[in-house]
Each structure stands twice: as C-alpha cells, then as structure tokens.
Chain A
C-alpha cells in the first residue's frame, strides 16, 4: 500500500515538475499512436463501409478474418513486422527498424482490425434507407457515405476510442519494433516495462497514472466533440 501511495504522490510530482524526460516519453507515446490511428482510420472506415453495404465474393470471409485478428497478440505483430523490417527481411532496405515509423506501422496493424470490425458492426446497424434517401435526394456516393456515417457516429467514435486505447497502451509491438530507445522510441508502456524491470515500481505506477490521466483528458475532449449525444438522430 505504501508503494501505491508513494507512486501516486510521485506521479503528481513528476507531472508538475515538468520533467523533460517524462514529457518526452509522453510526447512519443501520443505522437506515435495518434499518427497510427489517423493513418489507419480512413481506409478502415472505407473497408468497413464496403463490408457493410457491398456485395462481393469473400465478404463474409473477410468479416471473419477481421474479427479473428481482434485477438492477435501485440507481440506477434511485433515479431512479424520485426522479421519483415530487419535488414535480413524483405523490407530491410527501408531501415525502419528501431524508429518511430516502425512503431507506427505496428500500431496500425494492431488497430485496423478493431476499427474495421467495430465500424462494420456500427454501419451494419444503420438503416439502409439513410443511404437510399441520401442518394434519391441527389447526394453523390461520397456525400451519401458521409450521411450514413453521421447516422452511426456514436458507434464509430466508440470504435475509434477502443482502437486508440489498445495502441496507446500496448507494449509488445512497441518494445520489439522501437527498441525502447530513450528520447527516440521509448513510450509510456515501454518505459513502464523498463522501470518495472529495474525495480523502480513507484516510477512505473507513476507513469501508468500519467497515461490514465492523459487518456481521460483525451476521452473528455472526444466526448465533447461527439456532442451531447443521448438520443441523437
């Protein structure tokens, strides 16, 4: 219990003191995960839309594949990409291993299944007439897509939050692909893993609290964006 109390105290102290190393780590965490989710979202949305409204061979199989990928362990993603990005691997010439770009790639792979699966189920729940009405009223396909997405925006936001939550907190892929390099690829979860292995438990907990506080703020902001959102439509 002492450790926990100390840790909470230390966390607040750390945040308040503006410790540059800590803020660096936080910055890396959010930069990498935000980049990943922003890159992953548009194609995932498109794919989810096709899966929900399209009619093509292999559609059901694709849906099952993405649902299955929900349970892929982060370490497996890390290891697979590690082997691909290593000098000996097929993409070795890009020299991406142990960079933030490698971490972004790993996190994209991790969050795409969540985005596709959850957006798909949200879109599927939308009334098909929204699409038809929009089209009849003269909206182009792109405009109609926006209309339908607006209909189910809460489900889509939930997907976004779940995906972001997974990648901001994952340690396996970031550790393998980034290498936990101070001021370059050390993010909050890998820093926690390091502090824990060093026996600096309170430092680890403090970083965990920092992550939670920042996630809370982010959620609050998104919630605000989402509007008042009880029974919209």
Chain B
C-alpha cells in the first residue's frame, strides 16, 4: 500500500528535513548586505542597473527590500537592515539626529511631477506654481489619488498641500495606501491627478493614459540620501558592508552609473554626491528639465 509506506517514512522525512534546514544557516554572513529602499528606486529599474556592478566590484551581495520611506526608516531603526536609501530629507534628518543612523550622504535627485488626464479638467497645465496647481485641483474637486502610505512621496505631497494652505479632504481626495506604480494605475483608471516621482513616471509613461501636467517648481525637488544604520545600537549589523555601499555609490564610478541610467532615452536620476550643492534641507533655486 503506497499510502502506508508514505506514513512509515514520514518521521525519516521529517528528521532529514530538519537536518537540511539547519545546514544553510547564514547568520553573521559578512558578505551579505541588507538595503531597505523605496519602491521608486526599485520600480524605476535603477537598482537593477547599479547593484550588479557594486556586487562585482566588492563581492558583497545585496538583498534589497523595497518599501515606503516610512517603513524603510523603521526597519533601520529596528536594526533589521544595514543601510537605507530613501527620499524624505526631514525624516532622514530626524533619523540621524535620534541616533538611529550615523550620517546622511547625498546620492542623487530627481523631481516630483503632477500627472493627470489628457483633457486636464482642472487646467493644471496653466499653473504658475505647485501650490497653484494643487489649488486648481482642489477648487475643481477633480479626483486626486494620494499614496497615503507615509512614503517619501506621500510626505512631500502633504507638505505641498500645507504650503498651498489647503486641507485635502472630501470625496475628490482619495488615499490609496499603495506603492507608486499602483497609484499611477489607479489614477489612470479613474482619470485623476496624482503626484509622482519622475523616475517611476518614466518607467510607466508608455503604459499610462495620463500626461505630465505640471513640473519645474523648486518645491518639487526630490533628493535621495543614503544612511548607514548606527552600529553602536546594533553591533552585529553589517556596518562594513553599509559603509562600502555608501563609499561606492557616492564615488565617481557609482555616480557615473546613476547619471547614465536612462528610461526610454531620458535620464531619470541626477547624481549629486559630494557636489555640496544639495545639502540637507537646502533646495536648489531652479532646475532645468
């Protein structure tokens, strides 16, 4: 009876499995680095462009966990990752000041843009500023999809609303609680407006019925910083690996790779390490696009 045989061998199966499971325990693997980063760097394809080169140069394998900025910083705070690459300068500053991370390094920037339906019912295309653009959307009660997930993009969006002195509330303002790509899809399906980082937009543009409706306000600047998790709090994290990634990504070769990453022929991130031009909390006067 095959079934009976199966039962007989069950314990054998079980114990050999436990044995096998115990073998590949990888605790303390110094060649493994955990990077928590935002969905924008992953979904835009930038990391797949950068990390293989880093792994080749240093022999360090990188495990990337792509989540919203809020969650990425939380993982860093809890010591569940070794290094974070995120885009929310104020939150990053607080992270470093609280001693969760040791130092923030500029890596690159791109910018946020407003996208919306081609018909542009709120005439956002004629806006004079980002605040003006949001006011037009709010006044016309056109649907606006918010990330609503405490991500860097979400934090930026909320800051823009408060800059414009508007409380985004009502049936037109919808919090999705999803990643950038999902929100762009939703905005496309609902013919509505949303704020997106340029990198993700470039990656989705060809699949989206939406159009770019507003760009260029300095308030839409989107800087990315990298921070090593504080080894004083977690002595056994891979701090050497984190430092190696920081050194590499801010070095000329790493920065060159960022600069030459294009999506559909358009550069999506501008390297900014060590330029001194985009220090924390200071935004550039203007940006050419």
Binding site for B on A (CB under 8 A): 35, 38-39, 41-42, 45, 86-88, 92, 94-95, 97-99, 101, 104, 146, 149-150, 153, 157, 179-182, 184, 196-199, 225-227
Contact = CB atoms under 8 A, between A and B. Distances in A.
A87 B13 contact: no
Nearest to A85: B80
Dominant secondary structure of chain B at its interface with chain A: helix
A87 B26 contact: no
A209 to B, nearest CB: 21
B65 A180 contact: yes
B66 A39 contact: no
A197 B182 contact: yes
Contact of B65 (A98, A101, A149): A98
Contacts of A199: 181, 184-185, 204, 207-208
Nearest to B51: A182
A115 to B, nearest CB: 13
B251 to A, nearest CB: 24
Interface bin, chain B: 35 or more
Nearest to B206: A199
B13 A146 contact: no
A37 to B, nearest CB: 10
Contacts of B132: none
A104 to B, nearest CB: 7
Interface of B: 1-4, 6-8, 10-11, 13-14, 17-18, 21, 25-28, 34, 39, 43, 63-66, 78-80, 178-179, 181-182, 184-185, 203-204, 207-208, 234
Given A87-B79, A197-B181, A227-B2, A35 B21 contact: yes
A95 B25 CA distance: 10
A149 B1 CA distance: 13
B204 to A, nearest CB: 6
A97 B63 CA distance: 12
Given A38-B14, A149-B7, A150-B3, A198 B181 contact: yes
B65 A226 contact: no
B79 A88 contact: yes
Contact of B18 (A39, A86, A92, A182): A39
Nearest to B35: A181
Given A150-B3, A197-B43, A181 B21 contact: no
Contacts of A225: 2-3, 6
Given A38-B13, A181-B64, A146 B43 contact: no
The 7 closest A-B pairs by CB, nearest first: A87-B79, A179-B65, A153-B3, A181-B63, A197-B181, A88-B78, A197-B182
27 contacts: A35-B17, A35-B21, A38-B17, A41-B14, A42-B10, A45-B10, A88-B78, A88-B79, A94-B27, A95-B27, A95-B28, A98-B63, A104-B21, A146-B8, A150-B1, A150-B7, A179-B65, A180-B66, A181-B64, A182-B64, A197-B179, A199-B181, A199-B207, A199-B208, A225-B6, A226-B2, A227-B1
